[in-house]
Amino acid sequence: MTSAPASIEACRAEIAAQILAYRNLVGAASKASGMSLARIDAALAAFEPAFFNNLVIALDARFQQRRRETPVSAEVALLAEALLHHGGVLTANAVLPYDADAALLRLELGERVSLNAEDVESLATAFLSEIDVLPAA
């Protein structure tokens, strides 16, 4: 079994690699495509939230057994729950505290979750920093 710090470092590396792969894809599509820039932008705009929303679900699932008492951990859990069970709409949960003004992404309850590279980068950095200091479950 992998130690907690090693699994956190592996997760950091994997998320960074996926974000870099997305950014490389955007750059390559912009340079190589015979499509108009408007069509490329539309295709990427449709793909981006699906890709990054799923990345947050994977991030949450990877550390699901860890405590959810920290603010960003609760935010990630609520985002994943919204995407998996509430049609992508951020919904209150009696167990997980949420304050939009204090949240990293500042999404309001009732708002649709539509994440981008910067959102996931910020969430993953803060989430993994919080998880790193928690004792293993």
- What are the tens digits of pLDDT across the range 28-57? 777 766 666 677 778 888 899 999 999 999
- Whether 15 maps to a domain, the answer reads yes
pTM of the predicted structure, to 2 decimals: 0.82
Picking from 101, 97, 49, the residue whose alpha carbon sits closest to that of residue 75 is: 97
The answer to whether residue 21 sits within a structural domain is yes
To 5 degrees, how large is the angle CA 32–CA 37–CA 41?
A: 100
Residue 22 lies in a domain: yes
Is residue 55 in some structural domain? yes
- The whole domain housing 58 covers 4-132
| CA distance linking residue 93 with residue 74, whole number of Å | 10
- Report angle CA 120, 107, 63 to the nearest 5 degrees: 45
The answer to whether residue 118 sits within a structural domain is yes
Tell me whether residue 137 is in a domain.
no
Task: Please give the tally of structural domains in the chain.
Answer: 1
Q: Is residue 70 part of a domain?
A: yes
Residues 110-121 have pLDDT tens digits of 999 999 999 999
Helix, strand, coil in percent for the chain, rounding step 5 = 65, 0, 35
